Structure 1
C-alpha cells in the first residue's frame, strides 16, 4: 500500500507555527522522505516561515552572494541558485512519491512535476486577481509590477528528487522585507526585481494565502490536501 493510499488519497498538509530554523527543516524533510520511501509515512506538504536567511542551490555562484555577513547562509542541496527566505514569505516543502501519478503530473516525470508547481502558484495568485506567468530562461513565477510596469518575481521554485521522492519546493512572497533580497542576486537574475502580494496592493493574511494554496492544490495534483 502506498503512502498516498494510507493518507486517504491525498498528501497530508501541515502548517508550522512560528519561524522554523533551516537546519530543522532539512532534518524534517530527510526524515519524511525516508519514511515515504520505506512506505511507513504519508506524503507531506509542509508550510513554514523561516527567519531571514540565504540558501544556495546546486548552481549557486559565489559572486552572487553580495553580502555574506547580512544573514546566515546554508547549502540547500536543491537545484537552482541563491534564494532568500524570511518572515512574510510562505515556503511550502512538497514531499511526494513520484513513482505514482499525481493529478496532471505523470509518474516519474520531473519536468511535469516542476510545471505542476508553477501551475499551483499561478492558480493561487489568480484567486487574488494577480496574473502569474512563466518566462523562458527565468525560473520562478513573474508578474508585471502594477506600479512600475516592469516585471518582478513573486514566487520561487527549487526542487530535489531522491529515488523519485520530492523535497524542497516553492516560496511565495506575501509581505517579506523586499530589501532583504539585496544581499544576493536572486536565482542569478540581475535584470529584474522581486515583489510581493502586499507590494501589488493585495493586502491579505498568511492564513488567507494558505487557504488559497490549499484550494488550488487539487486542480493540479489531484486529491485534495488532508489537514494534519
Structure 2
C-alpha cells in the first residue's frame, strides 16, 4: 500500500468514526479531567498562543481558550476533514480559536498564526500515529523554542501491579482503533508498536526540557509529560 493510499484509508477510517470518537473524547469517565490536567500543564497565560496537534473533534480547544482568554490565540491542527468539521462546530462561538487541516509534522501555522510566537504546544493521543514520533517532538520543540512548553498525553500499557486485565482491555481497544480492524494476527502487535512510539516521544521531550512534570491517569494507562524547553 502506498503512502497516499494509507493516508486516504486512515482519513476514511477516522472520518467514519468521528461522531463516536467525539463522544468518547468528551464523556469517557476520567478523560475530561485528564484533558484539563494536560491543558494546565501547558502553563498558559492570558494572551498566549497555543497550538494543539491532532486536535480531533476539538475536545481540548475550549479549555485552552479559557486559559489564554479572548486576547490569546488557539490553533487546532488535524488531518481528517470530518473530524475537523466537528471541531469547527464546537468552537464556532470563539473568534480566536482557529482550526486548520494539516498533519502533525507539516502544519499550516503561518496561514493562521502569522508571525506570532507560539508559547505552548499540546499533543494528546497523537504520537502513536506518527512514523517518527521522536523526530516530531524535536520539530515541536523547535517550533515553540526556549522557555515555552510542550505537553504530551498518550495511552500505553500500564505498569501498575493490577495491570494485566487492564492491559488486555487496552490491547483490544488499540486493535479496534487501528485501521484496518479486520486483522486477527499481526507481525508487529499494534499495542507493542504503540508502546515503543510513546516511550520514544516522551523520552525525547524529557531530553529537550529544562523542567519536567510526569503524571499517570486512568489506571496508569495514560501518561502526561509536560516540559519547559531549554
Do they fold alike, i.e. is TM over 0.5?
A: no
Which structure's residues are more often helix, by fraction?
Answer: 2
**TM superposition score normalised by structure 2:** 0.26
**TM superposition score normalised by structure 1:** 0.26
Which structure's residues are more often strand, by fraction?
Answer: 1
Higher relative contact order (CA 8 A, sep 6+): 1
